[in-house]
Amino acid sequence: MAHRVVASRPLALLVLACTALAMVACGEEQPTGFADIPSLDATADVADARTPTVDTGPRDASGRVCTRSSQCDDGIDCTMDFCSADGRCVSMPNTMACDNGIYCDGLETCDVRRGCIRGTPVACNDNYTCTIDRCDEATKTCSHTPRDSDRDGDPDIRCMAPDCDAGMGESDAAVADAGADGGPVCWVGGDCDESNPRVNSRLPELCGDGIDNNCNGLVDMAEPGGCRQPPNDTCDDPLDVSAGGRFVMPMAGTTGQYRFTCAGGMLARDVVARLRLTEARDVTLTATAGSAAVYLQIVPTRCVSPTSAADVRTCTLGFPTTVRTRALPAGDYFIMLGTSTSSTTAADMELNVTLSPATMPPANDTCASPIVIPPTGGTFMGDLVDVASNVTTRCGGLSPDVVYSITLTESANISARVAGSRSDYLTLALVDRCVASPTTLRCDSAAPAQFTARELMPGTYFLVVSGRTINPFTLDVMVTPPSPPPQGDVCANPLTITPGTPVMGTLAGLEADYQLSCSGTGSRDVVHRFTLTERADITATVRGGSSDYFYLALDTTCGDRTTERACRTGSPGRLTVRGLDPGTYYLITKGIRGAEYTLTLDTAAPVTPVAVADNDTCAAAAMIPATGGVFTGNTSTLRHDYTPPCSTGASSEDAVFRMRLDARRRVNFSLDGSSFDTVMWLTQGSSCPGTNVPGACNDDAIGVASAFEVTLDPGEYQLFVGGFGSGSRGNYTLTVTTAAP
């Protein structure tokens, strides 16, 4: 017999089986002289597999098949196997051994050939599309509920239960008397929008959201009797968030009621929540509203529109917006949440409120109480929650900051690194004195921020960490023997670059030393020097990875911004200066994101620009030689004829150029030096305006000047020069350079 213990199998069943086969010794061992009984063929054809089977296989000399029950095990878990009084093996199906205790999946049965067989699930389909039919395991019955896809409690207006009176009026809507099987006897739906839980016949009409909230066919103020303000729209109806948790506040239909001090005035839409604290708590608020930026303002004590920053606890903007305060005292606080989105379909505001035990702010908030770093360095955890801004450095001074001090007894290098979460942008500065505006020796603003200050003299120095993150940060400080800066790090030891010979290098290990007119001080920089023996036009190009962005400046005196001849940004970065006199010059390169770079300096005999005019249409296009050139013109005398593919708002006047290439070339087009906000694009084909060339349309590459570089196959091309918007026009300078691909 096959044995399977099943909790629901009654002991009485075993007793009954033994009684029915009185001549069989249940479980009793007998002397054996018989071979094991061969297993039955599972595919044998039987009239009813649930009927007990009797083995009439080979018998011994006395005419018996078995002498004990252990010889009759058929390998089927749900059968009870016995040796009968006449020496035959009997297998009885035990359906209760297959029961899984689940009503809705049907009754399981025992097949004496195949074992337990799954039951047929209980069918609850009432063949009516307006009900949701399901089997209820708890009550072991079928339920048929009205179809309510958005689960707002109001069934679809297009549905009515089969046994309802078709003449029922609106007052009879949504009747749901339970029948014998738990289903409704009669109901009529009133929801006219099953995709929106804020629309159904039981809701009030909301003002200003452009939606028929109560499904009466009228919208907003058009409804007789007016409409209601959306929930939480004013201080009269704030959402209570005192228990903490996640809250969703509809923005559709809300209006701008209150002034946000960090927004300069009122916003398009705002909602209000109320936080009541009975004891001091740390509070973290995070708010999102779809893809819109969110303003979050905390007003203590009274819910009023603040008139100045002094009336608010905090006001900030973000996406998402997160505010954390330490040990917020007991009392009432009103949380105003706003967006500048005026659309009637504005996304809901989601507010997460986390309350935790009160903690004290960092002790090193001011210069009077810095955390002391040992002379050998170390690792320190900290945060910037509820601290003030006390120190202004070269890299900034408006963010909350904390202070550390370190004293060197001999000359050394200090390497420092501060990191928060992956997206936390922090500023780290080394200063000579801890005062409001000290001399900044080193600083960096990045995620993470880091630098090495070399060959520092003995004395006390201060590290200032600042930023607006609420996340903890880690500050690592390492003190090493003094060493000079790497080649190219500062003006005192520049790298040499020769015209026509590319230089490959890295910004890794270098520091941010210089401020350029087109960038701040927060990016690492490298200095290259070159000398001209005769007057020339020069073009410097710096390239990195596809997403790397560079700043490139040309100085006559290294590091002196008053001698800066030009400063450009881009990916790649490209700077052109014409008519440069003989002498020594310095190229200062800063990089964002990328560290590896290739810098190329090209020189050429000074070029006198070609003046063009009247190239208003394709028919009057000015020709660009295959070798490139410099062209000047003015779009003010032209008309708007063509639309660029990358800036649909460009509707200013435009000029047209033609170019024919007989060989594959890499061509750079630049409008650097033009007097207005330009747009430029390139097409291909013998007919004009031709087919747009992928990657050859640009609005702002060098400030508001357009530029792009493409590799072109032989053929006919048209270049269009226009202005952004409808009023960008004036003098332009077009520079076209070509090189081998």
- Residue 483 exposed, middle or buried by CB count within 10 Å (0-12, 13-18, 19+): exposed
pLDDT digits (tens, 9 = 90+) for 458-480: 999 999 999 988 889 999 999 99
pLDDT digits (tens, 9 = 90+) for 706-734: 999 999 999 999 999 999 888 899 999 99
Confidence at residue 246, expressed as pLDDT on a 0 to 100 scale: 96
Mean pLDDT, the chain, rounded, equals 84
Confidence at residue 504, expressed as pLDDT on a 0 to 100 scale: 94
- Matching residue, tokens 């072991």: 140
Confidence at residue 187, expressed as pLDDT on a 0 to 100 scale: 65
The answer to whether position 701 is within a domain reads: yes
Confidence at residue 717, expressed as pLDDT on a 0 to 100 scale: 97
Q: Which of 293-297, 437-441, 592-596 has the lowest mean pLDDT?
A: 592-596
Considering the domain architecture, whether residues 100 and 49 belong to the same structural domain is answered as yes
Cα of 116 vs its chain's centroid, Å: 50
* Rounded CA separation 278/300 (Å): 14
Work out the average pLDDT over 609-619.
Answer: 93
pTM, full prediction: 0.58
Write out the two tokens for 184. 């409704």
pLDDT above 50 (res 23)? no
Bridge partners of 450?
A: 417
* Neighbouring C-alpha atoms within 13 Å toward the C-beta of 543: 9
- Report the range out of 341-345, 589-593, 695-699 with the highest average pLDDT: 695-699
The answer to whether position 514 is within a domain reads: yes
Q: What is the dihedral of CA 551, 556, 561, 562, to 10 degrees?
A: -140
Considering the domain architecture, whether residues 325 and 417 belong to the same structural domain is answered as no
CATH number reported for the structural domain that contains residue 417 in this entry: 2.60.120.380
CATH number reported for the structural domain that contains residue 276 in this entry: 2.60.120.1050
Q: Which letter does DSSP use for residue 605 in this model?
A: -
Measure Cα distances from 425 to 5, 319, 471, 569 in Å.
Answer: 64, 14, 11, 21
The answer to whether position 455 is within a domain reads: yes
Considering the domain architecture, whether residues 464 and 507 belong to the same structural domain is answered as no
Write out the two tokens for 718. 């048209």
Question: CB neighbours (10 Å) of residue 730?
Answer: 16
Range of the domain at 63: 1-121
3-class DSSP state for residue 315? strand
Question: CB neighbours (10 Å) of residue 528?
Answer: 20
Confidence at residue 345, expressed as pLDDT on a 0 to 100 scale: 66
The answer to whether position 49 is within a domain reads: yes
Write out the two tokens for 726. 């409808």
- Residue 161 exposed, middle or buried by CB count within 10 Å (0-12, 13-18, 19+): buried
pLDDT above 60 (res 46)? no
Q: Which of 162-171, 186-195, 288-297 has the lowest mean pLDDT?
A: 162-171
Q: Are 511 and 533 in contact (CB under 8 A)?
A: no
pLDDT above 80 (res 333)? yes
Write out the two tokens for 534. 């005769």
pLDDT digits (tens, 9 = 90+) for 157-169: 877 665 565 444 3
Work out the average pLDDT over 256-269.
Answer: 89
Q: Are 232 and 217 in contact (CB under 8 A)?
A: no
Last residue of a domain, one of 604, 626, 652: 604
pLDDT above 90 (res 502)? yes
Confidence at residue 62, expressed as pLDDT on a 0 to 100 scale: 64
* Rounded CA separation 587/575 (Å): 10
| Element counts in the chain: helices (H) and strands (E) | 1, 46
The answer to whether position 722 is within a domain reads: yes
The confidence band for 51, taking pLDDT boundaries of 50, 70 and 90, is low
pLDDT digits (tens, 9 = 90+) for 413-458: 999 999 998 778 899 999 999 998 899 999 888 888 899 999 999 9
Q: Which of 47-51, 235-239, 526-530, 577-581 has the lowest mean pLDDT?
A: 47-51
pLDDT above 80 (res 52)? no
The confidence band for 223, taking pLDDT boundaries of 50, 70 and 90, is low
For residue 216, give every residue at least 6 positions away whose Cβ sits within 8 Å of its Cβ, in sequence order, or none: 201, 205, 223
pLDDT above 80 (res 368)? yes
The answer to whether position 229 is within a domain reads: no
The answer to whether position 141 is within a domain reads: no
Considering the domain architecture, whether residues 510 and 553 belong to the same structural domain is answered as yes
Last residue of a domain, one of 429, 445, 480: 480
3-class DSSP state for residue 136? strand
Considering the domain architecture, whether residues 15 and 70 belong to the same structural domain is answered as yes
6 versus 96: the higher-pLDDT residue is 96
Considering the domain architecture, whether residues 437 and 512 belong to the same structural domain is answered as no
Radius of gyration for the alpha carbons in the chain, expressed in angstroms and rounded: 41
The confidence band for 32, taking pLDDT boundaries of 50, 70 and 90, is very low
262 backbone dihedrals φ, ψ, rounded to 5°: -90, 0
Considering the domain architecture, whether residues 668 and 636 belong to the same structural domain is answered as yes
Considering the domain architecture, whether residues 271 and 347 belong to the same structural domain is answered as yes
Measure Cα distances from 550 to 102, 573, 688 in Å.
Answer: 67, 5, 35
Residue ranges in 123-227 assigned as alpha helix (H): none
Considering the domain architecture, whether residues 474 and 499 belong to the same structural domain is answered as no
The answer to whether position 449 is within a domain reads: yes
Considering the domain architecture, whether residues 590 and 654 belong to the same structural domain is answered as no
Last residue of a domain, one of 583, 604, 625: 604
Number of folded domains that form the chain: 5
Considering the domain architecture, whether residues 429 and 450 belong to the same structural domain is answered as yes
Q: Residue 209 corresponds to which amino acid?
A: D
Q: Are 283 and 355 in contact (CB under 8 A)?
A: yes
For residue 326, give every residue at least 6 positions away whose Cβ sits within 8 Å of its Cβ, in sequence order, or none: 282, 358, 359, 360, 361, 385, 386
Beta strands in 433-472 (DSSP E): 440-446, 449-456, 459-466
Q: Taking phi first (over 0 means left), then psi (-120 to 50 degrees means alpha), and beta for anything else, what does residue 375 get?
A: alpha
pLDDT above 50 (res 36)? no
3-class DSSP state for residue 100? coil
For residue 125, give every residue at least 6 positions away whose Cβ sits within 8 Å of its Cβ, in sequence order, or none: 133
Q: Taking phi first (over 0 means left), then psi (-120 to 50 degrees means alpha), and beta for anything else, what does residue 330 get?
A: beta
* Rounded CA separation 144/184 (Å): 7
Q: Which letter does DSSP use for residue 38 in this model?
A: P
For residue 430, give every residue at least 6 positions away whose Cβ sits within 8 Å of its Cβ, in sequence order, or none: 414, 416, 440, 441, 442, 443, 451, 453, 461, 462, 463
Considering the domain architecture, whether residues 352 and 393 belong to the same structural domain is answered as no
